[in-house]
Chain A
Amino acid sequence: MQITDLVIIGAGPAGMAAAATAANVGLHVILLDEQPRPGGQIYRDVDRVAPVRGEMLGKDYTDGLSLTAGLDHGNITHISGAVVWAIEEGIRVLYTADGRGGAIEAKRILIATGALERPMPLPGWTLPGVMTAGAAQILLKQSGVLSKNAVLVGSGPLLYLIASQMIRAGTSPLALVETQTQADLLRALPHLGGALRGWRYLLKGLTMLSEIRRAGVRRYTSATNILIEGETAAEDIRFTADGKTRHIPCDTVLLHHGVVPNTQAARSIDVAHHWDARQHCFVPNLDDWGGTNVETVHIAGDGAGIGGAKVAALAGRLAALKMAADLGAISTIERDDTAKPIRRSIAQELAVRPFLDKAFPPAIEATKPVDATIICRCEEITAGDIRRHAGIGCAGPNQAKAFSRAGMGPCQGRYCGLTVSNLLAEANSATMDETGYYRIRPPLKPVTLGELAEMGGSVNSATN
């Protein structure tokens, strides 16, 4: 058993910023991350990749270099390739790395596990060749791998970012099939005034859109009846736009209609969550510092609610200040003084969000899919299965899980949880808070008996 002041789960912007802030005021930090190198998904592999593809990926990516540089501190131990599978009593973190189990006991824990793509169950979304837009980003960033014949489907600025990066790399997407409507834009307009405080984001969006236009990439909006077809892999996509049925042959379909907090770790220790109607997702109940109902546990970054990479890093610093003050490393006066400008920056960075949330809502046909659509990829359960279980009295997702097996596969509900809750809420005419979410239990990720056996050895040798 290793002992430290603070263990941070996740080396993305929130985790890295928190680690540096905590280490600078004297706390000993262990940073656990699943990837071989720090960065999280947004700055995936940035130290290695920035010199090679930094220009194509843009400043928003290479900005991550300042965060990875902050990890070079004597108080920070970064354990890479570490998969956390349990948190116990709010102070112990169990993980595996390199085929061995490990355990850390800490005075404080920061969960900085970021976001997942919002599940987008459309007919055909399980076919090889269909991926999340985030997956395409990761392929491009980390590996320099791009799809040659891709159609981007859904809504949100990430689609424009990927399209513009693909254009710069010389492999323009075939088309953008967007689900947001003119009515969504009208609903967003009242928030434009507030969004202008975050004008840099708006300008960036407009620049990307003009890049896409100049490259001659066709954009369809208000797309409905989206269907991905293929025998053993995606071969084409069909949809309705401008009153016509369209058909585009392609090899790759990239799905995106927003990202949602990855709540698995927090839920596994009974951190309370509530439904955020503006972001259409469950978020943890947090105080101003990212503190949860579990006294020793804080949450920062997109896992606390979607704010993007800049907000994540700022929130990581806030949480670190709070925990440092709790542990007596800094005074509460120092904590509050340092926090003030950070809070102002967060408000500025979040100004554009209400506009974006209204302009690019989730695609309704993917949040409430037709009966035949598979919604649980692991167990291959359809939307119709869930509706049938609602019909025989399933009020919540845990009952539906027991009845249908949805959420019981290896992904443990990460890509069906929100859909199941949505379907049940609709069928039962209940709110999302009344309907709730899967109960998450350890192991958070599969762990082998061999890894557990190795852990037993290390615990004994540490105590002997």
Chain B
Amino acid sequence: MKTASSFLELEERRRLVPVWFEGGELQLPEGSNLAAAMLAAGVGTFRYTPVSGAPRAPFCMMGACFDCLVDVDGVTRQACMLEVTEGLRLSMPRKGRNVIDADN
């Protein structure tokens, strides 16, 4: 999964490791902030809201807004409060998608 990112990543020597988001593989710098790394890798939408199904992405980057929620091993967590580790399996929180499915 490689998409054009609207963000520039200043070069830093870090090992890239595979991380899966919604089944697609991302190569992210190990130990870096997960939300920042996902943005730099071109992930535009992190989740869909449970209320209206609107797309969301990181807003505050400091653990306050809860817009960057992702599911990690079945637990919904804030991507901006996590670090990249090899083999992370991430998905959009289920609750949002179920609502969208029900609406469709």
Contact = CB atoms under 8 A, between A and B. Distances in A.
B75 interface: yes
A135 B62 contact: yes
A189 interface: no
Interface string B55-78: 111111111111101000001000
Interface string B28-60: 000011001101100011100101101111111
Nearest to B47: A128
A164 interface: no
A262 to B, nearest CB: 7
A260 to B, nearest CB: 11
Given A128-B44, A132-B59, 7 more contacts: A116-B64, A135-B59, A139-B61, A142-B36, A146-B7, A146-B8, A252-B6
Interface residues of A, number: 45
Most buried by A among B10, B12, B45, B81: B10
B93 to A, nearest CB: 10
Contacts of B66: 378, 409-411
B10 A142 contact: no
21 contacts: A34-B63, A116-B62, A128-B44, A128-B46, A131-B58, A131-B60, A132-B59, A135-B60, A135-B61, A139-B7, A139-B61, A142-B36, A144-B10, A145-B10, A146-B8, A147-B6, A377-B59, A379-B51, A409-B66, A410-B69, A445-B63
Contact of B62 (A41, A143, A147): A41
A128 B57 contact: yes
B83 interface: yes
B55 A132 contact: no
A118 to B, nearest CB: 12
Interface in A81-101: 83
Contacts of A317: none
A129 B6 contact: yes
Contacts of A129: 6, 44, 57
Contacts of A252: 6-7
Contacts of B75: 448
A332 interface: no
Contacts of A377: 59, 65, 67
B12 A144 contact: yes
Interface residues of B, number: 37
Contacts of B22: none
Contacts of B59: 130-132, 135, 377, 415
B25 interface: no
Contacts of A414: 64-65
A409 B58 CA distance: 16
Interface string B7-33: 111111000000000000000000011
A148 interface: yes
Contacts of B65: 377, 411, 414-415
Contacts of B46: 128
Contacts of A132: 59-61
A344 B3 CA distance: 53
A145 B64 contact: no
B21 to A, nearest CB: 14
A144 B52 CA distance: 33
A89 B25 CA distance: 48
B83 A36 contact: yes
Contacts of B60: 116-117, 131-132, 134-135, 415
